[in-house]
Amino acid sequence: MNIIKQLVPIANGARAAKNSCKVEVNSEEHEVVIALGSNVGNRLQNFEDALERMKKSGIQITRHGCLYETEPAYVTDQPHFLNSAVRAITKLDPHKLLGTLKEIERDMGRTAGIRIWERPFVMGPLIDLLGRETDNDTIKSWHLLSRYSGGLFEAWEKLGGELLIGKDGMKRVLPIANRLWDWSTKTSIMGILNVTPDSFSDGGKFLSIDSAVSHVQSMLTDGADIIDLGAQSTRPMATKLSPEQELDRLIPVLEAVKNIPEMDGKLISVDTFYSQVALEAVKNGSHVINDVSAGQLDSNMRNVIAALKIPYIAMHMRGDPSTMQNHENLMYDDVCVDVASEMYARVRDAELSGVPAWRMIIDPGIGFSKNTEHNLDILMGLRDIRSEIGKKSLAVSRAPLLIGPSRKRFLGEICGQPNAAERDMATAASVTAGVLGGANIVRVHNVRANGDAVKLCDAMLQRRGKCS
């Protein structure tokens, strides 16, 4: 079993000669990159244990790469590996740091060495962390540690770069419900279940447990992969419930839904911005927390998610449901650039609280703090949003992307449909645009209609991949 595979230390403000690996230390704090890998036992738990041991040893994790599952190289008759990498800050000098990591390795059973430049499953996570940045002295120094004149990025490209992902047994995965989810193979459909009297589209329809269960069964039959259960409306000017009131609505329905036989192999998400509700929801069977505020409405949310070790959907919104459509919250210089920047800041806060990038799902928040033109720009600019986030973190930019345009007001304004329930055809059109633009999850009310749209989009994208 390999846990800590490769250490590349460098000091803040340090200098490194282009053809040398010597590092001159100029400060007490050092920034390091540590590559992780495991293929024995509970691979994900091995990662969690190693990160916790590093934290206790004075190694502060600041960034995470994506999580990769890869086929073994050279010696192929062994289990698949999990791989990633982290950036960290520590006051341990390089020799003490190396000794600490070796001790963790020995405790956890590491057996073999590694040739970093030959291994895509090491280079991929390193590129996630270091990217193509060229205007930062520290990043330049990292790249100079490569044997190639173009740095680590050139080394990655020589191995095949992004073309390797999804081929030769290397894929990015997200740990969820005791399995590893490769979200790139198909677009996932998240069916909406609102157990609220005041939601804009279906308020009051599914208040009883029987009606809620029946609706979930229908959505599963129609092809839903995830059920998103919400007990508090976040429409503009909705009445705000306390955590206790939200839980009173939520828990009985959640307990009933998780026991539906058709839920086997499916996922449950709970839509809440309260950490108390998130904690109880996960205790009662939820696999994912979907937070429209990305931690802005409950400062403890990030810590709770980190402790629960579950996927976290972080959505972009300014203000709260009562203020999100105020004039000041609708002011953008460039909505895609601004949303990307603000969304990244929320994810960064979560990461510093202990939520790794490999557990993140990002949502640009269609309809939240956006007008009609903003929503259209986002639907057409999903790749631009990813690209902007990628300037700060390639790992975060590669996270699964969720969109939720379903029956939103902007569709009614464009199509002349004041009744939300009459916006399903417009929803399917917006879902089509989103999936072709890079969305991995679509959150919808009408699973059947949008499921057909998603299937067609996936077929077109697969065809594009074969032709390219």
Catalytic annotation, residues: 408, 443
Query: Which pair of tokens denotes residue 349?
Result: 């806060």
**Residue 145: strand, helix, or coil:** coil
| Rounded Cα distance, 307 and 300, in Å | 11
423 phi, psi to nearest 5 deg: -105, 15
Give the contacts of 396 (CB within 8 A, at least 6 positions apart). 344, 347, 348, 351, 357, 360, 362, 389, 390
Beta strand 441-444 with 179-181 is unpaired
> In this structure, is the dihedral angle defined by the CA atoms of residues 149, 150, 156 and 160, taken in order, positive or negative?
negative
DSSP string, 151-170: HHHHHHHHHTGGGGTTBTTE
Helical packing angle, 243-258 and 275-283, nearest 10°: 20
Q: How far is CA 205 from CA 9, 60, 198, 208, 286, in A?
A: 57, 48, 10, 8, 22
The answer to whether residues 267 and 281 touch, using CB atoms and an 8 Å cutoff, is no
454 phi, psi to nearest 5 deg: -65, -45
Half-sphere exposure of 414 (CA within 13 A, CB side): 17
The answer to whether residues 389 and 383 touch, using CB atoms and an 8 Å cutoff, is no
Query: Which pair of tokens denotes residue 445?
Result: 């009310």
